[in-house]
Amino acid sequence: MSGSRGRLAAIRATIAALEAGGRPDAGVLPFGDEGLDGRLPGGGLALGRWHEIVGVGLEAETSAAPSAFAALMAAPLAKKGEAVWVLRRDDLWAPGLEGLGFPPERLIQVCARDEAEALAVMEDALGTVGVSAVFGEVEAVDLTAGRRLQLACERRGTTGFVIKRRPFGGTGKAEAAGSVTASRWRVKSAPSEPAADEFGLGAPRFEVALERCRGGRTGAWILEADRAYSWEAGDVAHPLRLVADLGDRELAPASGRRRAA
C-alpha cells in the first residue's frame, strides 16, 4: 500500500514538474487547516496561478460574497505587495475590505470599459513586479484568455483571482466547456452563529465548494472569517477558519466524482 502511495506521489511530482515547464514553483498559501490544505496540491492555495471564484443566484450580479471571500483568501498576499482589482462597475468599497483585513491602501482599482479590456489589464498587472495579487471581475474566461492569464501569472509568480460577475440585468454568457483555472470556488454566504452571549451578528461565514482543483481534490466547507471587523492588526494566521466539512466528495460514488484534468 505504502509502495503504491510513494509511486503515485513520484508520478504526481513528475507531472507537476512537467506542467511547470522548468519554472520555479511560486509556492502555496496554506489556509492553516489540515482538512482544507490536504485537498489542495502542495498543501495550500497555489500561487503563480489564477483561481476562479463564482457566486450563486443574485450574487452572480452583485458579487458581494465572492469578492469578500476573494479578499479574505488573498489578504495575506496583499500585505506583501500591491494588489490590483479590475472592475467593470466601481462599487467596490475600501472600508469594507479593510474590515475584512485586506489593506485598501495597497489596492489599485481599475475600472475597465469592457470584458476584453478587463482581461488585458489583468494580464498586464499580473506581469508587473511588485504586484502580488490581481483580482478581475469578468463575465467569462474562455480557453485562450485563460491560457494568456496563466502565462502572465507564471512570468512573475503573481496570483490571479477571477471573480465571475455578470452585468446587472444580463443573462450571462454560456460557460466555456474547459478552463485552465487552477481552482474554482463556488461561494455563497452561510448563516452566522454568534455566541450565545453575543448580541447581533456573528462573524461572516461562507459556504464554499471547491468545484475544480488542478492536481487536488474537490470538496465543500463552511469557512468563517473569525477576525473580520475586529480591527486587530498584526495577525499572521490566515483570516479564514474552517468551521465544518460538508462531506468528502472522494467518498462519493465514482459516477459523481469530478476531477480536474
Partner 1 sequence: MRRVVSLYLPNWSVDRLRRQLGNDAPPPDQPLVLVGRVGRRRVVTAANAAALQAGARPGQAATQAQALIPGLDVRDADPQGDADALERLAVWALRRYAPVCQADPPDGLAIDATGAAHLKGGETAMLADMVDRLAEAGVQAEVAIAPAYGAAHALARFRRDLRIVDDGGIDAAIGPLPLEALRLPHDLVAGLRRMGFERIADVVHRPRAPLALRFGPDLGRRLDQAYARTAEPLIPVEAPEAPRVERVFAEPIGAPETLARYAGALAADLCRALEAAGLGVRRLDWLCYRVDNRLEAVRVGLARPVRDLSRITRLLTDKIETIDPGFGIDRMILVATSAERLDWRPGAAALAETATPDVFDLIDVLANRIGARRLYRLQPVESDVPERSMRKVPPLAAPSARDWTPDWPRPTRLLRRPEPVETLALLPDNPPTHFTWRGIRRRVVRADGPERIFGEWRRRDAELHAVRDYFQVEDDAGERFWLFRAGDGEDATTGSQAWFIHGLFG
Helix (H) or strand (E) holding 37: helix 34-37
Query: Which stretches of the chain bind partner 1, using CB under 8 A?
Result: 58-59, 62-69, 71, 81-82, 84, 89, 91-100, 104-105, 107-113, 117, 120-121, 124-125, 128-131, 188-192, 194, 199-202, 204-205, 207, 228-229, 231
Number of other CB atoms surrounding residue 67 within 10 Å: 26
Beta bridge partners of 190: 205
When the beta carbons of 41 and 204 are compared against partner 1, the nearer one is: 204
> What is the Cα–Cα distance from 63 to 187, expressed in whole angstroms?
10
CB of 261 to partner 1, least distance (A): 31
Q: Which is nearer to partner 1, 177 or 199 (CB)?
A: 199
Minimum distance from residue 15 beta carbon to partner 1 (Å): 32
- Cα separation of 224 and 170, whole Å? 31
- Measured in degrees and rounded to the nearest 5, phi and psi for residue 52 equal -110, 135
- The conformation of residue 166, written as its DSSP 8-state character, comes to P
The residue with cell 452571549 is 197
- C-beta closer to partner 1: residue 37 or 59: 59
Between 29 and 125, name the residue whose CB sits nearer to partner 1: 125
